Amino acid sequence: MKIGVLRENLAGERRVAITPHIVKRLIQSGHSVTVEGQAGAGAGLADDAYQAEGATIVGRTDVLSSDLIATVNAPQDADLRDTMVLGLLRPFEDPSQMTSYASRGITGLAFELVPRTTRAQAMDALSSQATVSGYQAALEGAKACDRFFPMLTTAAGTIPPARALILGAGVAGLQAIATSRRLGAVVSAFDVRAAAAEQVRSLGASFLESDLEPQDATSNGGYARQLETDATERVRASLAAPVATADVVIATAAIPGKAAPLLITTAMVESMRPGSVIVDVSAGTGGNCELTRPGEAVRHGGVQVIGFTDLASRKPYDASQMYARNVAALIEIIGPDGFLDLSDDILDQITVTYGGEVRHPRIRELVAGR
């Protein structure tokens, strides 16, 4: 199978879908690899490094003629057709793009739909990139906050540690907890899932209890389910005091296929002291904070609300290494001949478009609703 690697053209994107080390792995598995010139430049990976592992450096048009195109973001090229595209295609956020893919004979394979099963762990790009985002969110919070994260004992007196509050204890949230702890902050966290409390405490953070019945997320792939309106209001009420006393709030709560839950209201932001920070990791799906502007950092009453949507791309080298391993693991179950066996449970679930149709039922519903 001829595998192509595109240079990402989304503004601010520095990651690349396949790294030189993975090129070698794919060629050993019987594939050929073509790479668009400068595809890895943003991640510090030169064309020479790809060529040294057996890849061919070509122009974009040649990559678009590949049997399978590996990408980070969904390519928008008008002359892309009759091929497979594997990447973070954002099918829930942009179902019209999936309709366009179907009409052009493109088989769209979306990492967002990889099931959370033991067999699929090596292909879970959402988790690998969430790890990077959680780490980077803690760094952004520490950089923007007007306080030291660790306690410092100096000749000028003792400086107490900053207080960090993490909302959502999924992959990004747990990484934000671990990183904030390493930086020396006093960390607390909240999540609606039953398993979260033990995970949070295992990292040395305190867990905020609420009067809600904890969710058993095992039937939902480990993800939280959307709360009813009254339950969401109760969550916000229970978070009001912890948010008000936090120096840094890192919000990571997300629900696959839906807008991020609103957990931090304007009034809650106004209760925080000037100089404190909110880092909204869920900005790309609407944000957990009412004041979040995706892609921007704004101030409200002295509180900075950071809504950067490129957190994973801010650590492009390691993010690309992790993502490329996810790509390689998924290509391995397709095989060198490019045959897509839809009886395989993983391939069945990730295949959004196939045979000129949008075949994934949830995406079909979104398309019909528009």
CA distance 362 to 348: 13
Give me the helices (H) in 183-305, please.
Answer: 196-202, 229-245, 266-270
Catalytic residue (choose from 32, 147, 223, 349): 223
101 is catalytic: no
User: Is residue 14 helix, strand or coil?
Assistant: coil
Residue 264: pLDDT band (50, 70, 90) is very high
Known active-site residue 116: yes
16 vs 365, higher pLDDT = 16
Question: Which pTM value belongs to this model?
Answer: 0.93
* All residues at 6 or more sequence positions from 125 whose CB lies less than 8 Å from its CB, including other chains: 88, 111, 114, 323, 326, 327
Identify whether 124 is a catalytic site residue: yes
Among the listed residues 60, 90, 104, 116, the single catalytic one is 116
Q: Is the pLDDT of residue 219 over 70?
A: no
> Can you give the pLDDT at residue 325?
98
* Catalytic annotation, pick one of 101, 124, 128, 247: 124
Mean of the per-residue pLDDT values of the chain = 94
- pLDDT confidence bin for 7, thresholds 50/70/90: very high
Tens of pLDDT, residues 47-73:
999 999 999 999 999 999 999 999 999
127, 129, 276, 282: which is the annotated catalytic residue?
127
Question: Which structural domains are found in the chain, ordered by start?
Answer: 2-113+316-359 (3.40.50.720), 132-314 (3.40.50.720)
Clarify whether 349 is annotated catalytic.
Answer: no
Could you write out the DSSP letters of every residue in 287-299? -SBTT--TT-EEE
Per the residue annotation, which of 29, 121, 210, 238 is the catalytic one? Answer: 121
Dmax over Cα atoms in the chain, in whole Å?
71
